[in-house]
Amino acid sequence: MRKNNWLALASLILVSGGLASAAFSNPPNALNDPSGDRQSLLLGVAGFACTIVGMVLLLMVASKTTKSMPPKKKISTNICVGFGIILQLAAILAYRTGVVVAHPLVVPLGLFWLSLPVFVRGCMDYASGKGRSKWLGLVGVTGLVGLAILVILSERNDDDLVDPADADEDVIDVASQGSGN
């Protein structure tokens, strides 16, 4: 695997581990005791730190893999993915703070569903910019996991593809260059 693939995999593990750690940091009140408060705080801080470090690594890898992408597509990708992540974080914040409209899940689920098409559009632009089918960007439905999968995939250029019909022509061309001496 290339260096970018390892970094993307490490960032995915950090983000997943951080989110899991943060989820375990909030035990039910019945289990809350003074000794558990310290453990809960440590799990929350560790989860937050791992998630932030993982996101930074993922963004660093993504910026390295988009250097050959056309500027217009790069801007569209960054705006859509960034706005999608912001909406998903707002949904988590709305859930954690208890924003209630008719039902406690209306606002968080509304923000999450609003973020999906935006985030998926950014992932589709990213896949297309890497020379892949834009439909591969539908893995963005899985969130950061889908984005990490797209980052891990290598970039495809038109030069990388070999047309079998032209293969004989290339062999003849190489042979003619060698016999010219």
**Residue 10 within a domain:** yes
Give 27-45 as a DSSP string. --GGG--HHHHHHHHHHHH
Task: Give the pLDDT mean for 122-127.
Answer: 92
Is 58 found in the same domain as 48? Answer: yes
- Predicted confidence (pLDDT) per residue in 86-111, tens digit: 888 888 778 777 777 777 788 888 89
- Predicted confidence (pLDDT) per residue in 105-121, tens digit: 888 888 999 999 999 99
Task: Give the pLDDT mean for 149-156.
Answer: 81
**Residue 177 within a domain:** no
Is 133 found in the same domain as 105? Answer: yes
As for how many domains the chain has, the answer is: 2
Q: Domain limits at 48?
A: 1-65
Q: Is the pLDDT of residue 39 over 50?
A: yes
Listed in sequence order, the residues at least 6 apart from 46 whose beta carbon sits closer than 8 Å to its beta carbon are 18, 21
Question: When comparing pLDDT for 31 and 26, which is higher?
Answer: 26
Is 4 found in the same domain as 37? Answer: yes
**Residue 173 within a domain:** no
Q: What is the pLDDT of residue 30?
A: 47
**Residue 37 within a domain:** yes
Is 82 found in the same domain as 61? Answer: no
Is 147 found in the same domain as 84? Answer: yes
- d(CA 57, CA 63) in angstroms, rounded, equals 10
Query: In terms of Cα–Cα distance, which of 95, 118, 96, 120 is closest to 107?
Result: 95
- Predicted confidence (pLDDT) per residue in 47-85, tens digit: 888 888 887 887 777 777 777 788 888 888 888 988 988
Grouping H, G, I as helix, E, B as strand and the rest as coil, residue 158 is helix
**Residue 22 within a domain:** yes
pTM here is 0.65
**Residue 164 within a domain:** no
